[in-house]
């Protein structure tokens, strides 16, 4: 008889190592996925994709980038850039497979890149799409250069930004001016939390170890507030505690109040509530 603790493996489901392969479809994310893919096919200049932190924006972008990886006209930058030079160098590496000597600013890059096109039709037919995650962290000066790049029609950009309660990033002028289409990803509600957890575990055939009823899901939601990143942290800790009890105090797991108790312990550990 094996002494292997199943919870040792279950908790790792909530460590997101490959977000594109472990993507969980929810109503909001499916809708946004379709809107983004459709928008990327349009001859737009700038597209805005926004939502609260932890709503699943990066999950969705990784899914889109993975699904469209055969499209050589698509570039995805998951991390922000803080200078024009590093951004241009990264762009050159994506397009040409290497850094280009003396090409380290907007003007030199556009001059070099545009020499391959003879007219507007050729430019639009070869338009590159660049997806920028964490765009709220980009310096204003770099955002302005990116807008100028979009004006050439050789590139179109999808800005992905956080929408927070403390600072309405959407009110900033450079995210309002010239945005052609805006797409919002709402935070998950209780029903989507239920679907998320069930599907997340069923991907690894661990769904039978999710013994939650409605009040347990509502408890998890009250702690995470629809933030999927926070929910993953809670559930990782939840199953880590289950792992401990399974080994040392298995009777604790049979209590009717075990789920609420362990979720509360996980929330305390994450600093979401006070003792």
Residues 132 and 247 in one domain: no
Whether 16 maps to a domain, the answer reads: no
pLDDT (average), residues 16-23? 60
Identify whether 66 is part of a domain: yes
Mean pLDDT of the chain: 89
Q: How far apart (Å, rounded) are the C-alpha atoms in residues 54 and 65?
A: 19
**Cα–Cα distance between 37 and 56 in angstroms, integer?**
16
The confidence score (pLDDT) of residue 177 equals 62
pLDDT at 152: 92
Residue 258 has pLDDT above 60, yes or no: yes
Same domain, 134 and 75: yes
pLDDT, one tens digit per residue, over 38-67 is 999 988 889 999 998 888 899 899 999 999
Tell whether 149 and 244 lie within a shared domain: no
Residue 205 has pLDDT above 60, yes or no: yes
Share of the chain above pLDDT 90, in %: 68
Q: Which of 140, 164, 185 is the last residue of a domain?
A: 185
Tokens 């029609």 — which residue? 153
Mean pLDDT throughout 85-114?
94
| Cα 138–Cα 140–Cα 146 angle in degrees, nearest 5 | 75
Q: What percent of the chain has pLDDT over 70?
A: 91
Residue 265's domain comprises: 189-269
Q: Could you tell me if residue 21 is inside a domain? A: no
pLDDT tens digits along 123-173: 888 899 999 999 989 998 999 999 999 999 999 999 999 876 555 555 566
Specify the number of domains making up the chain: 2
Q: Are residues 90 and 154 in the same domain?
A: yes
Cα–Cα distance for residue pair 240/122, rounded to 1 Å: 56
Last residue of a domain, one of 185, 202, 221: 185
Q: Which of 185, 212, 227 is the last residue of a domain?
A: 185
Same domain? For 162 and 61 the reply is yes
Q: Which two tokens stand for residue 5?
A: 């603790």
Q: Which residue has the higher pLDDT, 264 or 17?
A: 264
Q: Does residue 13 form part of some domain?
A: no
pLDDT tens for residues 237-253? Answer: 999 999 999 999 999 99
Q: What is the pLDDT of residue 267?
A: 96
Task: Check whether 207 has a pLDDT greater than 60.
Answer: yes
Q: What per-residue confidence (pLDDT) applies to 95? A: 94
How far from 239 is each of 6, 8, 231, CA to CA, in Å? 10, 8, 12
16 compared with 6, residue with greater pLDDT: 6
Q: Please report the pLDDT score of residue 141 as a whole number.
A: 93
What is the residue whose two structure tokens read 């055969």? 70
């Amino acid at each position: 008889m094996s002494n292997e603790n199943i919870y040792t493996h279950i908790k790792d489901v909530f460590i997101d190592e490959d977000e594109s392969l472990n993507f969980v479809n929810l109503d909001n994310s499916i809708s946004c996925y379709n809107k983004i893919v459709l928008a990327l096919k349009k001859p737009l200049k700038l597209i805005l994709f926004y939502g609260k932190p932890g709503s699943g924006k990066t999950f969705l972008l990784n899914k889109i980038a993975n699904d469209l990886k055969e499209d050589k006209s698509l570039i995805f930058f998951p991390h922000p850039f803080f200078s024009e030079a590093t951004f241009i160098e990264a762009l050159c590496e994506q397009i040409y497979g290497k850094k280009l000597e003396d090409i380290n600013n907007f003007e030199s890059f556009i001059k070099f890149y545009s020499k391959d096109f003879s007219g507007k039709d050729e430019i639009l037919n070869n338009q590159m799409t660049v997806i920028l995650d964490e765009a709220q962290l980009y310096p204003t000066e770099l955002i302005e250069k990116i807008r100028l790049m979009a004006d050439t029609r050789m590139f179109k950009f999808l800005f992905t930004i956080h929408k927070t309660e403390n600072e309405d990033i959407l009110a900033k002028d450079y995210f309002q001016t010239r945005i052609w289409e805006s797409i919002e990803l709402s935070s998950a509600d209780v029903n989507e939390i239920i679907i998320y957890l069930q599907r997340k575990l069923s991907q690894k055939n661990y769904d039978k170890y999710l013994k939650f009823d409605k009040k347990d899901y509502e408890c998890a939601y009250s702690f995470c507030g629809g933030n999927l990143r926070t929910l993953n942290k809670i559930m990782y800790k939840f199953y880590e505690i289950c792992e401990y009890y399974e080994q040392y105090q298995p009777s604790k797991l049979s209590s009717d109040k075990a789920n609420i108790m362990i979720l509360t312990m996980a929330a305390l550990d994450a600093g979401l509530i006070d003792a």
